[in-house]
């Protein structure tokens, strides 16, 4: 079974631009969570989607948004990029949203904002 895939793997943008990252969960997984990883702040939860609905959102500004499609693929968008948005963005999928399921992580997208 294929793992979680994230595209692109690397991305370079300039301040003020917007960016869209994609995550394809493991086949059959319906829950997708996004995390931001930076040296200064560590791993922080962005949001979670289940059945095309945002179930949970972390403490990030409204410039960070996401969505999930009917095939469970998810995208996250960051508008008006700032230097501080440079990070590794990790996506994790779960078979069923809830407590008894492991989160499987993708390789991440490395975003650099210049």
Partner 1 sequence: AQTVTQSQPEMSVQEAETVTLSCTYDTSESDYYLFWYKQPPSRQMILVIRQEAYKQQNATENRFSVNFQKAAKSFSLKISDSQLGDAAMYFCAYRSAVTTGTASKLTFGTGTRLQVTL
C-beta neighbour count of 33 within 10 angstroms: 25
Instruction: Supply the Cα-derived Rg of the chain in whole angstroms.
Output: 13
How many positions of this chain bind partner 1 (CB under 8 A)?
Answer: 26
Q: Measured from the CB atom, is 22 or 103 closer to partner 1?
A: 103
CB of 88 to partner 1, least distance (A): 7
CB 45 within 8 A of CB 64: no
Integer Cα distance of 106 and 34 in angstroms: 10
CA 111 to chain centre: 12
Among 45, 60, 67, 95, the residue binding partner 1 under the rule CB under 8 A is: 45
Among 35, 64, 111, 113, the residue binding partner 1 under the rule CB under 8 A is: 35
Among 74, 94, 111, 113, the residue binding partner 1 under the rule CB under 8 A is: 94
Interaction between residue 60 and partner 1 (CB under 8 A): no
Q: What is the largest CA-CA distance in the chain?
A: 41
The binding site for partner 1 (CB under 8 A) comprises 31, 33, 35, 42-45, 48, 50, 55-56, 58, 88, 90, 92, 94, 97-99, 102-108
């Amino acid at each position: 079974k294929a793992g979680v895939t994230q595209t692109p793997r690397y991305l370079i943008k300039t301040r003020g631009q917007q960016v869209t990252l994609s995550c394809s969960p493991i086949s059959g997984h319906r829950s997708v969570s996004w995390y931001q990883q930076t040296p200064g702040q560590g791993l922080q939860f962005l949001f979670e989607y289940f059945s095309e609905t945002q179930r949970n959102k972390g403490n990030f500004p409204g410039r960070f948004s996401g969505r999930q499609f009917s095939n469970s693929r998810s995208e996250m968008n960051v508008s008006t990029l700032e230097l501080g948005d440079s990070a590794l963005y990790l996506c994790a999928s779960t078979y069923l949203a809830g407590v008894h399921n492991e989160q499987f992580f993708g390789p991440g997208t490395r975003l650099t904002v210049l």
